[in-house]
Amino acid sequence: MTLPDFELCRPETLSETMELLSEQEGEAVFYMGGTELLLAMKYGLAHASILVDGKKLGELKKIEANDDSLTLGAGLTHLALESSPIVRELLPELAGVERTVANLRVRAVGTLGGNLCFAEPHSDPATLLIALGARVGLLSKAGTRWLPLEEFVLGPLQTALVPGEIMTAITVPKPPTEARIAFERIRLKERPAANVAVMLTEEEVRVVVGAVGPRPLRVIDAEDLLLETPEAIEDACALVEAGVEPYADGEGSIEYKRHLAAVLTRRALRRVAA
């Protein structure tokens, strides 16, 4: 199969990019790495007569740290993130997750922003970033709006992006010194069959399960229980097993995915409790 015909634009500034997307609304699609978009177009699952290539936009490839957070350009590749000294120091769990995304070819070209905007359910970064409390910056001609990542991903291949809008950055709060973070996953092929991220602090608990259902899901009942009774690991795992919303696919049945979610939650909680 071959790609359908399309016009390729390579803007050099964000303002030029936004003008293009505004003028060609409904026809133009913005992309960075294209590892998922071009494949979807090849198989007829996505359509665009104009592709707007953002590789020249240096603003989307910056890493900025301040006292409270780390801001990652949406155009950073997975390889750039896994090898970044700043990411390794401040968010080692994220560097570890990026190191295992797909394969080296995809990591060298694919971007974090592209991964989040494609909203493939069988993916790792979103699960961890939701547990870390990440927000995403979405730019349109009207300006930038910020959304918690858990509100941005709506379902399989569905996000809160509106026409003419692109993701420019992902901001992750710096975890408190006492924070305990763990990420666990099971991968049967190149993509996860299930993953779990947990973050425990003195004031908050986050338990996020991904890859088993339509989008990463915070299990609020388990979070509330662990905040009140940190040692109630088995009860929390039971709440996770009951609270996830899996669907059957090539990675497993509904029952199997519920079981995986509980197993991975147990592993993650035991790690942070050690």
The predicted structure's pLDDT at residue 39:
86
The predicted structure's pLDDT at residue 212:
97
- Residue 217 identity (one-letter amino acid): L
CATH of domain 180-273: 3.30.390.50
The predicted structure's pLDDT at residue 25:
78
- Look up the pTM and report it: 0.96
Tell me the domain boundaries of the chain.
7-53, 59-173, 180-273
How far is residue 147's CA from residue 150's CA, in Å, rounded to a whole number?
8
Per the listing, tokens 């000294």 go with 85
Q: What phi and psi, each to the nearest 5 degrees, are found at residue 165?
A: -120, 145
How far is residue 94's CA from residue 82's CA, in Å, rounded to a whole number?
8
Instruction: Tell me, yes or no, if the two domains 7-53 and 180-273 fold the same way.
Output: no
How far is residue 34's CA from residue 115's CA, in Å, rounded to a whole number?
10
The predicted structure's pLDDT at residue 2:
82
197 contacts: CB under 8 Å, gap ≥ 6: 93, 127, 128, 130, 131, 132, 181, 182, 183, 184, 206, 207, 208, 210, 268
Helix (H) or strand (E) holding 268: helix 254-273
The predicted structure's pLDDT at residue 107:
95
- Give per-10-residue mean pLDDT for the chain (274 aa): 88 95 88 90 86 96 97 98 97 97 93 96 97 98 96 96 96 96 91 96 96 97 97 98 95 96 98 90
Specify whether domain 59-173 bears CATH 3.40.50.2300.
no
| CATH of 7-53 given 3.30.43, 1.10.155, 1.10.760, 1.20.120 | 3.30.43
